[in-house]
Structure 1
Amino acid sequence: MKIFKTLFFISLVTAVLCSCKPDQLKPVETDKSAPGTVSNIKTLSRPGTVKLTYTLPSDQDLLYVLAEYTDKYGKVIQAKASYYTDSLVIQGFADSAVHKMSVYAVDRSENKSAPVVLDVKALAPPVFGIKSSLVLAEDFGGVNVSYSNPNEADIAIVVSYKDSLGYFVNNETIYTKSKQGSFTSRGFSSKSTVFGVYVRDRWNNRTDTVFKTLTPFFEKQLDKSKFRTVILPTDIGDYGSGLVISNLWDNVINANSNMWHSRGDAGTPMHITFELGVTAKLSRFVLWQRPGAYIFNHGNPKRYEIWGSTNPPLDGSFNNWTLLKSCVSVKPSAQAPGVNSQADVDAAARGEEWNIPLDAPKVRYIRVVILENWIGGPQAHIAEMAFYGSDN
């Protein structure tokens, strides 16, 4: 009897489960009544965008508002906003032409209201204003591109050049939303080159190309065998135990025994000095952090400055020194010190590269000023540095 009851129970449960149909993906409500229309629509034109403000219909099952139009490429563009808000922003306009836009109210059963059709017109997309601000100039080993992006639009600046066969080849793409900035696309010899630069956004709106023929300045890595340590009265000097300043130019990056390390009680700000062995017009430099668990951590520099001089005073003061670059180290993952992503590891391995302004004077002596390390402690360490430019 017990066996019979058990089998009967199992059969009953199985029958109940099998009778259930997988309809959980259907709308919670299934009425066929369309909601009322959106009313009192007002438009505000912005660069590449149009903002709508409106009054929602009073339907209790209203879910969202939908706006759509067909862009100049024939693609239907849609944007949605929930019933919690009374405004909607449509982005990605490729021009400033008038477009017919349909606005719908949509309920929880995906019923759409009758459309409200209106004419909308965005201001010119930001990429066109950015294109008009582009300035291309000769730089060490390449072309310097400066730009203005007042709307902080997400953009890509694409740099190309004409190769020996007369074709334009992409050299570099810089992604940014900075209000203004400049960068140098390098890898070119010192000969006349036709460069082309254009701007595009994430909707693939793109500008015409700006062309300019330039002759990049000659650039080379300065010979580290000519570098030498200089100890001036105000310098922090070495930690000792082989962790000396000259380790900064021994071409060893991935060893904790080959680095410069300050005294443990040095305190910030602190500085060290060394000579390049030549008087050079610098284009850039690269700094490599102490490796391993120390990247973006411990005494690696977070805020630091590079100063240059041709005749530093013997009293160790900053007279006759010129500030070449103020640097703030940026950790790609933005995670706390000691927690590193692969992007952090890769960035540390590449080194932190910084351009020196084109109007900076020639220098022979370098002073590295550590303002802050990654944990706010009193010590500092650097694995390696390299300097580029021309000593002609």
Structure 2
Amino acid sequence: MKNNNWYLLLALLCIAVIGCKEDVLSPLEKDSVAPQQISNPVSTSSPGAVKVTYSLPSDPDLMYVMAEYKNKYGKLISVKASSYTNSITVDGFADTASYDLSLYAVDKSENKSAPVTIRVKAQEPPIFGIRRSLTLVSDFGGINITFANPTEANIAVVVLYKDSLGNFSTKETIYTKQKNGLFSSRGFPSKETVFGVYIRDRWDNRTDTIKATLTPIFEKELDKTKFRVLTLPTDAKVGFGLPIPNLWNNVIGPNDMWHTDDTGMPCQITFDMGVTAKISRFTIWQRQGVWIYAHGNPKRYEIWGSNNPASDGSYNNWTMLASCVSVKPSGQPSGSNSQEDVSAAARGEETTVSLNAPAVRYIRVRVLETWAGGLATHVSEMTLYGNDK
């Protein structure tokens, strides 16, 4: 009798396990009945996109609405919208042509309704307006590119140049959504070169290429052996035995730097480059190691230039060359640095100076705020580029 009970119990357990497996593997909804169609579709155009509003069918197992169309290149584009909304936005249109857009109601069993097809027409995609606003001019070591992107569309600015074989090669691709774009593409000799730029969006739509024959302005790294300290009455005092010339000794690290005393903010120092030069750009390196994006490293600072510094240490006769904000890539709190942060700090923070800035001989570094918000500041190294001819 005991053995019979044991076998009965084993059989019941097997049935229970099999039943559980079936419950887990079976879909919650499974039928072959297609839902009803959406109704009352109304389309609204915007730059490169179309929004369609509609009435949803009353099917209780409705899962989503899907819109499909074949784009300019013959590729089928499919977009889905939840059943909790009564609209769907389809973007990525390459032009302002009319397209057949089919809308389907889809249920939890992935059954599709019969399509409701409407003709839609997007407004001009943003890339073409941006292309019309493109301006290319000669810059130090390359070209300067400006454009307007009023809708702040995510775009790629592709820079080309004609190589020695007469073929266009890609120099670089700049990804941005800046409303007012301003970029420099460098690394070219000072000789006449044919440049090209086109705009691409994330759907791989692209404009034609604007071309310009330009001669990059001569640029070189300014000779640091000619730099000399110029001490003015309002300049910060040196702290911890770490003098201003450490700024140009070509050593980038945690212990070799220029460091002020607890002078307070804002504070500044001044130096003579030994030549009069039109500055094109400069790079500042933070104190490295555990100090990056922390302690006395500058967070907000300015670079000024002059040919005749006021002897009283005021800003008379000075021109601001750049207003800078140090940005930590990861955005993590002070003391917590990602590999991206470490790499960015090691590369240094490069700032481009306006082409309209005057040629100068004297440089002033003015620190407004440090990462720790303290009274002292420090910088490991500074390199300046430009034309001293």
Asked if these proteins are the same fold (TM beyond 0.5), I'd say: yes
Cα distance between partner residues in 1 of 2:35 and 2:333? 50
- Residues 26-37 of structure 1 mapped to structure 2, 5 A cutoff: 27-37=27-37
Query: Mean Cα displacement is larger for which, 4-13 or 105-114?
Result: 4-13
User: Unpaired runs of 5+ in structure 2?
Assistant: none
Q: What is the CA RMSD across the aligned residues, in angstroms?
A: 2.0
Q: Is the 8 A contact 1:27 1:108 kept in 2?
A: no
Query: Residue 184 of structure 1 corresponds to which residue in structure 2?
Result: 184
Query: Residue 98 of structure 1 corresponds to which residue in structure 2?
Result: 98
Q: Deviations over 1:227-278 (max 9, x none)?
A: 111111111131132x111110000002x22101121x32221111111111
Shift of residue 58, structure 1, vs aligned partner: 2.0
Assess, with a 3 A threshold, how the Cα gap between structure 1 residues 252 and 2 changes in structure 2: closer, same or farther: farther
Query: Mean Cα displacement is larger for which, 309-318 or 59-68?
Result: 59-68
Q: In the alignment, residue 259 of structure 2 is paired with which amino acid?
A: H
Q: Is the 8 A contact 1:231 1:237 kept in 2?
A: no
Q: Is the 8 A contact 1:237 1:245 kept in 2?
A: no
Q: Is the 8 A contact 2:255 2:287 kept in 1?
A: no
Query: Residue 288 of structure 1 corresponds to which residue in structure 2?
Result: 285
Q: In the alignment, residue 247 of structure 1 is paired with which amino acid?
A: N
Query: Residue 195 of structure 2 corresponds to which residue in structure 1?
Result: 195
Q: Is the 8 A contact 2:275 2:388 kept in 1?
A: yes
Shift of residue 177, structure 1, vs aligned partner: 0.4
Shift of residue 376, structure 1, vs aligned partner: 2.0
Give the total of aligned pairs: 389
Q: In the alignment, residue 340 of structure 1 is paired with which amino acid?
A: N
Assess, with a 3 A threshold, how the Cα gap between structure 1 residues 330 and 5 changes in structure 2: closer, same or farther: farther
Cα distance between partner residues in 1 of 2:324 and 2:4? 81
Assess, with a 3 A threshold, how the Cα gap between structure 1 residues 24 and 102 changes in structure 2: closer, same or farther: farther
Assess, with a 3 A threshold, how the Cα gap between structure 1 residues 26 and 319 changes in structure 2: closer, same or farther: farther
Shift of residue 11, structure 1, vs aligned partner: 7.7
Q: In the alignment, residue 307 of structure 1 is paired with which amino acid?
A: W
Assess, with a 3 A threshold, how the Cα gap between structure 1 residues 25 and 146 changes in structure 2: closer, same or farther: farther
Query: Mean Cα displacement is larger for which, 37-46 or 204-213?
Result: 37-46
Q: In the alignment, does 2:375 pair up with 1:378?
A: yes
- Residues 219-298 of structure 1 mapped to structure 2, 5 A cutoff: 219-241=219-241, 243-254=242-253, 256-263=254-261, 265-298=262-295
Assess, with a 3 A threshold, how the Cα gap between structure 1 residues 285 and 31 changes in structure 2: closer, same or farther: same
Cα distance between partner residues in 1 of 2:204 and 2:121? 19
Shift of residue 338, structure 1, vs aligned partner: 1.4
Shift of residue 40, structure 1, vs aligned partner: 2.0
SS in 1 for 2:40: strand
Cα distance between partner residues in 1 of 2:363 and 2:175? 32
User: Unpaired runs of 5+ in structure 1?
Assistant: none
Shift of residue 221, structure 1, vs aligned partner: 0.1
Q: In the alignment, does 2:334 pair up with 1:337?
A: yes
Shift of residue 79, structure 1, vs aligned partner: 0.9
Q: Deviations over 1:108-146 (max 9, x none)?
A: 222222211000111121111111111000000001111
